[in-house]
Every structure is written in C-alpha cells, then in structure tokens.
C-alpha cells in the first residue's frame, strides 16, 4: 500500500441547529436517533446532539477538581514504532491524581511525583476503563450530566458510562467487542479511529490472548503492520475518522477498532448499548472464558499476568467459571421464553448444516473483499431514503496506507480526512461487564450460593457436558484446520 496524503476540510461545529425563534434544535428526536442506531451497520458521527449536555464541559482540569485528589490508575505505554501491539499485559501502571497527570503532561514532572520514572517524551498515559459508578461513587448526582436518553435510551446516563482520559499517543489495541454497539462522546481533544467491518475478521488475525471477557484482539498493530507475517491484512477495508469535541461516534456491533489520541489531552465518554444478539454471545463468551482459564492456569497458575488482561479482576477458578457459564445459558433460555423473537437458526445442530460450516472454514479464512459499499443497513432491503445528512456523517473507507505512528500520532498536524467529494469524515475497548452483564453476574453469585448447599439441577451444565461438545469430531477437525492455517503464516 502506498502512503496517502491528508486533505484539509472545513471545521464542523457541533453547536446545534437554530429554530425559527433562535433556539437550539437537535437534528434527531430520540426515537429517530435510536432507529438509526439499531438499523445502521456502518460507523457514523452524530453532530449537534450534545450541545446542552453539562458533560460537554468535562475537560481534564474540571474533572481534576471534581475528583478532588482521588488517585486513579493510568496505563503507561511507549511512544514506539513496533509492529507488535501494545497490549495491556505489556504496559506498566501508575496510581496518580488527575492533577499530577496534568502536571506531568505539561512536562513539569518532579523526581518525587508518581510519573517520575516516565519520560514524557517517551511515554503516554491512559486512564481508561473508568466506570462512573466507581469513579464518582460519592458524587452520583454527576451521572445526570450525561444524557444518552437523547439517543432514544430513556434513563441511560453516566451510570451506564465509562470515562477515558489520555495523553498524546495513548491508544487501545485493535479489537472487537463481543457485545452490543457503542456510542462515544468526545469531550476534549481529538481521537483518530481506525475501523474495520466484521467481514474483515479473518484479515485481522483474531486472538483471545491476552484474555479479556468480551474483547477479541487482533495480533496486528494496524498503524504499523508486519505484512510479511500477516499478509491477509492488506485485504482489510480500513475506515478512518478523526473524532472532535462535541461529536458522538456510533460503532456498530462487531466492528474492529483501534483508537489513538492525537492531542495533548483527550477526554471521552462512552456507553455500550445492549442488543438482542448479546444473549447467545454471552454463552459463547462464558465457554471461551472457561477454556482459556482452564488451560492457562494449568500451564502456570502463578503467571496470570502474561495472559490475563489487567481489566479482569474477578476470580478465575474453574468453579466460578462453571457457574458463569451456567448463568449465561440460563439467561439465554429465560430470554427465549419471554421474547417473541427467537433465533432458531443460531441453535441448528443437524449434521448437514455442521458439515457445510466445516467445509467452508478454509474458504472463509481466504475470503476476499466483499464490497462494503452498501453497508447502510443489515437487512439487505433498500432504504427509502439515506439517513445521512449534515448532522449524521458516515465514516469513509480509506484506500491508501494510513500514517505511521511517527508520522500520524506524533508528527501529524492532526487534520481530518475527507472523501473524494470533500465531505468531512473525520474510530474504541473496555471492561463491558459492569453495565452489560449485571444480571448475569447476579445470577452467578446466586448459583455459587445455591451450589454450596444443594445438588445441581438437571439443567446444570457440567464440565463433561462442555467437553462432550468441544471434542466432537466435527469441532476438532475445524480446530485442526485452524491450527494448521495458523502455523502456515
């Protein structure tokens, strides 16, 4: 791929449209915004939707005053050009206040400060995965400053949100989220998002190590890829956007994303929106958790740091994971009993279907580009009218090579990207459990308590039940094919 040049665009102001009487009017009513979010299969930017949110004033200086000297955890990463992703397991961590972070970020750190071992010119800092409910535990009134209800989700506010504060170069490794879709409100500074559609999954070389519940990582550093080791990545359809303050990015389900801060200080707020498909995904995640933890703890029980993401703080014993799996399965069946929409096809187990899937594994790994030009909806039905306009901007696919970390994050002027028509098209990760899996976690605890005094019910899934499925000849054949393909890289 050839390196592409950036083009400048007019600045988009997120100040709200004015009505006939001069009052600010939001371009989408909550019902319409939710309709767009639930139907759109392409990333897009909402403009002029948050101009009246009190949280629009939440810059790092203001937050440092609100948090009042509270120490939070910063992830420290290197400003480097490595082709290997900087996973959380390879980073170091610092406990510091936001005031200390801002002092260090101005390159005024003293030898006595918590950042004393980190040269500001060589390191970035990221306070990521900070849930409001734990960060502002004694200031719950602040939850109302975030109004996701404007996007059609009544009652959703800061209580179901996560805060991100980073310095220049701070980033998350490329990954997809197993659950939900994502809304990201940019408060301070700009972030550049690199996104890839779900059909590009084979080209992103997915991995579950390091393990984090509901996050599938890519083995590739997408801003500095090793194309000799990962040649299929050249087929990936990169979409890029620079998210500016006052804008809200919508990330559809299973879109891969890598996010990098391109200003000295960035502040973002996000919320994951639950979807119908999450019920089955939780069962798949529970199976993955049980397998990864069983194999890795058997390998070396003392060395969890090498494979378990620091965001995973729960106990990883086999008994807990077994209850975790049973809770997910129980929740799935409870949903099926109460929902009129049941995805029967997701549970098909007839031999003909399994054989067809098995034979298609290799072809799936080698699939070419599938043409993501018509990604407006996932139904395959033509839309009566495009939802895009001056206040809803699609994220454009970028055909040329993106800037490297040196030329993009650290050497760029940060100008936004444009498509061929000159329209502005200016990309996320976290511990999703807190708001998405509250019910499942409650069920896990109840099951642990009941298991201590009663025998398992007939519906209880045992380790043998799981193994019986995993060592099914059809499954092991697929696994063997994947292992062989992996070693042929």
* 471-484 tens-digit pLDDT: 888 888 888 888 88
Alpha helices in 54-189 (DSSP H): 60-67, 98-105, 132-135
Q: What is the pLDDT of residue 273?
A: 97
DSSP string, 7-50: ---PPPP-S-EE-TTS-EE-SS-HHHHHHHHHHB-S-EEE-SSS
Q: Tell me what pLDDT residue 11 has.
A: 32
Q: Using the predicted structure, report yes or no on whether residue 270 has a pLDDT greater than 50.
A: yes
Question: What is the predicted pLDDT for the residue at 278?
Answer: 94
Q: What is the mean pLDDT of residues 401-415?
A: 40
For residues 47-75, average pLDDT: 97
What kind and span of H or E run contains 270?
strand 265-273
Q: How confident is the model at residue 412 (pLDDT cuts 50, 70, 90)?
A: very low
**In the predicted structure, residue 61 carries a pLDDT above the cut 50:** yes
Q: Give me the helices (H) in 253-411, please.
A: 278-299, 318-338, 351-359, 361-365
Quote the pLDDT of residue 380: 44
pLDDT (mean) for 88-111: 89
Whether 225 shows a pLDDT value over 90: the answer reads: yes
Give per-residue pLDDT as tens, 348-405.
544 444 444 444 433 433 333 333 333 344 444 455 578 899 999 999 898 655 444 4
Measured at the CA of 310, the angle between CA 304 and CA 316, to 5 degrees, comes to 50
**Sequential DSSP letters for 308-341:** B-TT--S---HHHHHHHHHHHHHHHHHHHHH-S-
Q: Which residue has the higher pLDDT, 471 or 171?
A: 171
Torsion angles phi and psi, residue 159, rounded to 5: -65, -25
When mean pLDDT is compared over 5-9, 150-154, 310-314, 340-344, the highest value belongs to: 150-154
- At residue 81 the predicted structure's pLDDT band, cuts being 50, 70 and 90, is confident
Band (80; pLDDT cuts 50, 70, 90) = confident
Enter the pTM of the model.
0.77
Residue 224 structure tokens: 């500095």
pLDDT band of 13, cuts 50, 70, 90:
very low
Q: Which residue has the higher pLDDT, 207 or 412?
A: 207
291 versus 457: which is more confidently predicted? Answer: 291
Phi-psi region of 48 (alpha: psi -120 to 50; beta: other; left: phi over 0): left
Which one has a higher pLDDT value, 18 or 260?
A: 260
- Say what the pLDDT of residue 348 is: 53
252-268 pLDDT per residue, tens:
999 999 999 999 999 99
Look-up of token digits 């997915």: 206
- In this predicted structure, which of 45-49, 107-111, 423-427 has the lowest mean pLDDT? 423-427
Q: Residue 385's pLDDT is what?
A: 72
Output the pLDDT for position 111: 67
pLDDT mean over 418-440: 38
Residues of the chain above pLDDT 70, percent: 72
Q: Looking at the predicted structure, is the pLDDT value of residue 94 above 60? A: yes
SS (H, E, C) 201-225: HHHHCEEEEEEECCEEEECCCCCCC
Q: Each residue of 19-58: pLDDT tens digit?
A: 444 467 999 999 999 999 999 999 999 999 999 999 999 9
pLDDT at 75 exceeding the cut of 80: yes
C-alpha span between 208 and 220 (Å, rounded): 13
Angle at 253 between CA 397 and CA 44, to 5 degrees: 40
Mean pLDDT score of the chain: 79
């Amino acid at each position: 791929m050839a390196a592409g040049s950036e083009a400048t665009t007019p600045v988009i102001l997120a100040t709200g449209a004015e009505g006939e009487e001069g009052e600010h009017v939001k371009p989408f009513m909550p019902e319409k915004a939710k309709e767009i979010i639930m139907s759109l299969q392409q990333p897009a930017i909402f403009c002029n939707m948050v101009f009246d949110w009190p949280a629009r004033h939440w810059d790092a200086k203001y937050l440092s005053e609100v948090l009042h000297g509270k120490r939070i955890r910063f992830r420290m990463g290197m400003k480097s050009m490595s082709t290997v992703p900087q996973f959380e397991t390879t980073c170091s961590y610092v406990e510091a206040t936001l005031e200390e972070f801002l002092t260090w970020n101005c390159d005024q750190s003293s030898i006595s400060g918590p950042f004393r071992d980190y040269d500001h010119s060589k390191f970035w800092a990221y306070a990521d995965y900070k849930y409001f409910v734990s960060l502002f535990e004694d200031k719950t009134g602040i939850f109302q400053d975030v109004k996701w209800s404007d996007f059609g989700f009544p009652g959703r506010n800061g209580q179901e949100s996560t805060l991100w504060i980073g310095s220049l170069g701070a980033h998350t490794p490329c990954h997809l989220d197993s659950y939900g879709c994502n809304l990201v409100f940019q408060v301070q500074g700009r972030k550049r998002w690199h996104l890839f559609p779900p059909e590009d999954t084979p080209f992103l070389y997915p991995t579950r190590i390091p393990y984090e519940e509901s996050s599938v990582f890519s083995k590739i550093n997408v801003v500095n890829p090793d194309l000799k080791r990962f040649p299929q990545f050249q087929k990936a359809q990169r979409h890029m956007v620079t998210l500016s303050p006052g804008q809200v990015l919508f990330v559809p389900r299973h879109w891969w994303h890598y996010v990098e801060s391109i200003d000295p200080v960035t502040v973002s707020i996000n919320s994951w929106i639950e979807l119908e498909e999450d019920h089955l995904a939780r069962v798949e995640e529970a199976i993955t958790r049980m397998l990864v933890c069983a194999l890795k703890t058997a390998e070396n029980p003392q060395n969890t740091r090498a494979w378990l993401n620091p965001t995973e703080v729960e106990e990883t014993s086999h008994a807990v994971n077994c209850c975790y799996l049973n809770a997910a399965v129980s929740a799935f069946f409870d949903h099926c009993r109460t929902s009129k929409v049941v995805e029967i096809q997701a549970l098909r187990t007839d031999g003909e279907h399994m054989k067809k899937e098995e034979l298609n594994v290799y072809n799936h790994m080698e699939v070419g580009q599938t043409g993501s030009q018509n990604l407006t909806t996932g139904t395959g039905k033509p839309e009566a009218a495009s939802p895009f306009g001056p206040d809803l901007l699609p994220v454009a696919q970028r055909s040329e090579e993106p800037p490297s970390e040196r030329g993009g994050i650290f050497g760029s002027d940060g100008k936004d990207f444009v498509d061929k028509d000159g329209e502005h098209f200016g990309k996320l990760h976290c511990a999703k459990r807190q708001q998405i899996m509250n019910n499942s976690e409650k069920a896990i605890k109840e099951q642990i308590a009941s298991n201590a005094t009663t025998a398992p019910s007939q519906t209880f899934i045992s380790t043998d039940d799981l193994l019986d499925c995993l060592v099914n000849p059809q499954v092991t054949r697929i696994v063997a094919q994947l292992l062989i393909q992996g070693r042929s890289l």
